[in-house]
Structure 1
Amino acid sequence: MPVGAPRGVSIRIYLADGKPQGLRVVDRAGWTGTCLAFARADYGEARLRDELRRSGAYVLIGPQEDGRRPSRVYIGEGDEVRTRLDSHHREKDFWTHGYVLTTKDDSLNKAHVRYLEARLLHLAAEADAAVRENGTLPPVPRLGESEEADLEWYLDTTLTLLPLVGVTIFDVVKDRPAEVDHSTGARDESPLEGVEYFLQADLTEATARDDSRGFAVLAGALGRSEAKVMTPSYKEARDRLIAERVLVPHGDKQLRLTKTYLFDSPSQAASVLAAGSKNGRDAWRDAQGRTLKQNQERVAAGLG
């Protein structure tokens, strides 16, 4: 395998109570960290576990009341996580699921967990996929060079594990290769992959990538502002993006996509932008003029 090429990773998810949606311990070989995932309904059992007696960071997630975003999130830290979560269990109503990030050997100190808390908050702000319940966005603390390197490795691994238990609010989608912002330490963790496709229609012009996480339309795409006949689900998605200012007016007849956005499907992306129901597998074409459907059929035939 070439140096620097993507490598496979083995992740272990242990069902502590034997239930797929119950208490889950997530870790990987060669990593001292661990993640405990649990539903709020199981907090009574979760608070008795060793993970909650250790220093760590935590993420609490619940639904957004107005439905404009998929979730609300609160991110915190504690010398003994259980003390903080007991308080949140009494005082915070919104959350339905919790995720505790700690280590098997309790090696995280106060400076470490504050660093992790701040980095997670900044990643959540950049991804902008959930409403943050935290009142402030703290600066990322400065640590020694070796400590920061170790914690960034911890964070890299954590961000690989969390989507496996349904947490995608930290996924910062970029249309460029990964880079490091040396002033803040923030990184483009998730550059887009996949074939590039184009949409040309009435008042509509967009570029997208068929990424493994969804169909990603790149920032700057233009769509039609006057809606035509659309299926209710596509209209709801379009109205939500307009309300959230992901789609903003561009002149008198168009809307502009303000950031790279992961749509659920090619059809949803094409329909939202063209303001009318479209079959995305036929509407999106690559640089050679082949439709997404044709390319998918080529792959299935072993020609891709």
Structure 2
Amino acid sequence: MSFDEQIGRVVKIFITGKDPRSLRTVELDNWTGVAITGQPEFFKKALEAEVLARSCVYLLIKSGAEDDLPEIYVGESDDFSQRYTNGKFPIEFDTFLIFTSKDDNLTRAHVKWLEEKLWAILKGNSGKAVVANANKPTSSNLPRADVATMRTYLGNMIYVLEALGYDLFSVKERTSASAAGQVEQQNDEAQNLVLDLYATLPKRIDDRAYLRYEDGAYVLISGSKINARITESLPSNVRKLREQLIEDGGLIEAGDHMELTKDIPFSKPSPASALVKGRSSTGYQDWLRVTDGVPLGAVLGIAAAIREVV
């Protein structure tokens, strides 16, 4: 095997019922951590799992529409089996993910550290999710050796979340989540495709925002022009993102429009174009390739057709 040959990892998913949507236990090779995930109707069943009587860090996720962002609550508990027994949750959700350890080495201090770091990462990726926590979680002061161990644990958490299809992290975070010493090789043409795209403000074709598609990820570029007006059709979580960007200086007034002052990563093109246009948007139609004005959907369709031929 050559050094640059692609190396993979094994993710094991155990489904606890006949229905593939039932409660699932997820494990990763060479990791003592474990995740338990499912839909809300399986939450009480999850509380019966012996491992959840330990310290845990968890996510409650409410999925967004195609042109909106998901909402996520990040929490921790020293005994998750006693958490939410009254059924009162901080947000409505359609998926829960609970991370703990198969041994007793994960402590309350560890999960508080993990909670704060995970919260900070998700807040930094504001174009991929809206974080529902009203306040920043309190971290813990761990010894250096424990910090190193928890960084590895966090990387494995990110790896499992991405493997389950939750595109919540940047390309850098996804790459750093790979096991040490492993070399990743991208053979998929879709991953190697790089596109520079633009969208215009409503009724103002000379005012543009720019989106870059690379490594399977979307980034709304700093300096992009954003519509100063919004309509009722603007998705609720994109509206929250807009308000957050204005509050922290990421979006500023610039005459008769607004302007983005930093790059914003997105999981999908439609929330990005909704932010730009101030209304509901179909990103695959509203984002156009800079070189020829072909819609993103048509470009990706062409790319898919080429892959099938090859």
State TM-score, norm by structure 1. Answer: 0.70
Show the counterpart of 1:173. 170
- Structure 1: any 5+ residue segments left out of the alignment? 180-191
1:256 is aligned to 2:259: yes
1:125 is aligned to 2:128: no
Q: d(CA) in 2 for partners of 1:142 and 1:76?
A: 16
CA contact (8 A) 1:238 1:272 kept: no
Give 1:1-304 correspondences, 5 Å limit.
7-62=7-62, 70-78=70-78, 80-86=79-85, 89-92=86-89, 94-96=91-93, 97-128=95-126, 129-133=129-133, 135-145=135-145, 147-165=146-164, 167-168=166-167, 171-173=168-170, 194-199=193-198, 201-213=205-217, 215-225=218-228, 236=235, 240=239, 242-245=242-245, 248-257=251-260, 258-262=262-266, 264-265=268-269, 269=272, 273=276, 280=285, 283-285=288-290, 291=294, 293=298, 297=302, 300-301=305-306
CA contact (8 A) 2:251 2:259 kept: yes
Q: d(CA) in 1 for partners of 2:299 and 2:256?
A: 32
Instruction: Give aligned-pair identity as a percent.
Output: 18
Q: d(CA) in 2 for partners of 1:252 and 1:149?
A: 48
Encode CA deviations 1:187-223: one digit per residue, 9 max, x unaligned: xxxxx9751404275111424124525x332233224
The secondary structure found in structure 2 opposite 1:203 is strand
Q: d(CA) in 2 for partners of 1:197 and 1:40?
A: 40
What is the number of equivalent residue pairs in this alignment? Answer: 276
- Structure 2: any 5+ residue segments left out of the alignment? 177-190, 200-204
CA gap of 1:51–1:63, structure 2 versus 1, over 3 A, is same
Encode CA deviations 1:85-111: one digit per residue, 9 max, x unaligned: 43xx44435343432211222321233
Encode CA deviations 1:57-116: one digit per residue, 9 max, x unaligned: 22234479xx985324141131x3212343xx4443534343221122232123322222
The secondary structure found in structure 2 opposite 1:44 is helix
CA contact (8 A) 1:77 1:113 kept: yes
CA contact (8 A) 2:113 2:139 kept: no
CA contact (8 A) 1:56 1:77 kept: yes
CA gap of 1:4–1:142, structure 2 versus 1, over 3 A, is farther
CA gap of 1:57–1:222, structure 2 versus 1, over 3 A, is same
Q: d(CA) in 2 for partners of 1:300 and 1:68?
A: 28
Deviation at 1:33, TM superposition (A): 0.9
Of structures 1 and 2, the one with the larger relative CO (CA 8 A, separation 6+) is 2
CA contact (8 A) 1:205 1:221 kept: yes
**AA of the residue aligned to 2:21:** Q
**AA of the residue aligned to 1:54:** R
Q: d(CA) in 1 for partners of 2:122 and 2:173?
A: 19
CA contact (8 A) 2:198 2:290 kept: yes
